[in-house]
Amino acid sequence: MNEQSEWKNERTLRPVRLLLLSIVLGLAVLCASGCGAADCDCPPLIEYSVPDQRRLAAELDAAPLEATWPRYVADYAQLRAMTRACAR
């Protein structure tokens, strides 16, 4: 690749990189700020029974490696952890 095309690619990617950096920094500020106010409402967590949790764990273990839905369950678990932290 010649020097001019490298410069053009860098110039094209710069706005994308700035956008991604802005998003990451914005999320970091939101996460770092937390919910310090007394009037901050955290969403309630649904409590699942132990048998339901065991059944889900078995289904996750049995899921094919190429299954997409376990990733969504992991994301949901992370959201639940963040909600628990919010409630403290």
Token pair of 35, please? 């919910």
The whole-angstrom separation of Cα 25 and Cα 22 is 5
Q: What SS3 class is residue 48?
A: coil
Largest CA distance in the chain: 63
Range of the domain at 1: 1-33
Domain shared by 24 and 53, yes or no: no
Domain shared by 25 and 58, yes or no: no
Whether the predicted pLDDT of 17 surpasses 70: no
Whether the predicted pLDDT of 7 surpasses 60: no
The whole-angstrom separation of Cα 85 and Cα 3 is 50
Domain shared by 17 and 55, yes or no: no
Domain shared by 29 and 45, yes or no: no
pLDDT of residue 9: 59
**Element spanning 45, H or E:** none
Domain shared by 67 and 51, yes or no: yes
Q: In the structure, what pLDDT confidence band is assigned to residue 31 with cuts at 50, 70 and 90?
A: low
Domains held by the chain: number: 2
Domain shared by 81 and 55, yes or no: yes
Domain shared by 24 and 50, yes or no: no
pLDDT of residue 15: 66
The whole-angstrom separation of Cα 62 and Cα 40 is 39
Q: Please name the amino acid found at residue 38.
A: A
What does pTM read for this prediction? 0.48
